[in-house]
Amino acid sequence: MPEIVPGTLSVSNDVIADIAGYAAMSCYGVVGMAEQLQGAESVRLLAGQRLRKGVLVAAGENGLEVDLHVVLEDSVNMKSVCANLSSAVAFTLQEVAQIDPANLKVVIHVDALKNRS
């Protein structure tokens, strides 16, 4: 049985972005995270060690907002994948960083579709 340790936990936005990015990559239908190229209408698929560039974390008066910019696999049901992605990220942030899901909003931006081949 885990023992409760008194104190507070402070987690930086970069760490939250890393956790959210890795949680997103474990979801079915997600090919990768995307980065919007400045001044262009295209996106770049990010390498595994640069996932945080596809995640924007903002703390506001209503809690924490996590924006995920993802590339999904072509021909998947986007609604189902996004619902699964949102709940997986919220669950992982709750388990790892102790973030209350009631104060968390996960926003998903599908920036591109891609074949896995």
Q: Please state, in angstroms and as integers, the Cα–Cα distance from residue 11 to each residue in 16, 25, 86, following that order.
A: 7, 21, 20
Question: What total number of domains does the chain contain?
Answer: 1
Domain boundaries, position 94: 13-114
Instruction: Flag whether 6 is in a domain.
Output: no
Q: What is the pLDDT of residue 43?
A: 67
pTM value? Answer: 0.82
Averages of pLDDT over runs of 10 residues in the chain (117 residues) are 79 90 93 72 62 86 92 93 96 92 94 81
Distance CA 66, CA 87 (A): 12
- pLDDT for 51: 73
Question: What CATH number should be reported for the domain holding residue 97?
Answer: 3.30.70.1350
Looking at residue 83, what is its pLDDT?
96
| Domain membership flag for residue 107 | yes
Closest CA to 47 of 29, 63, 64, 31: 31
Q: What is the pLDDT of residue 92?
A: 96
For residue 9, what pLDDT is reported?
75
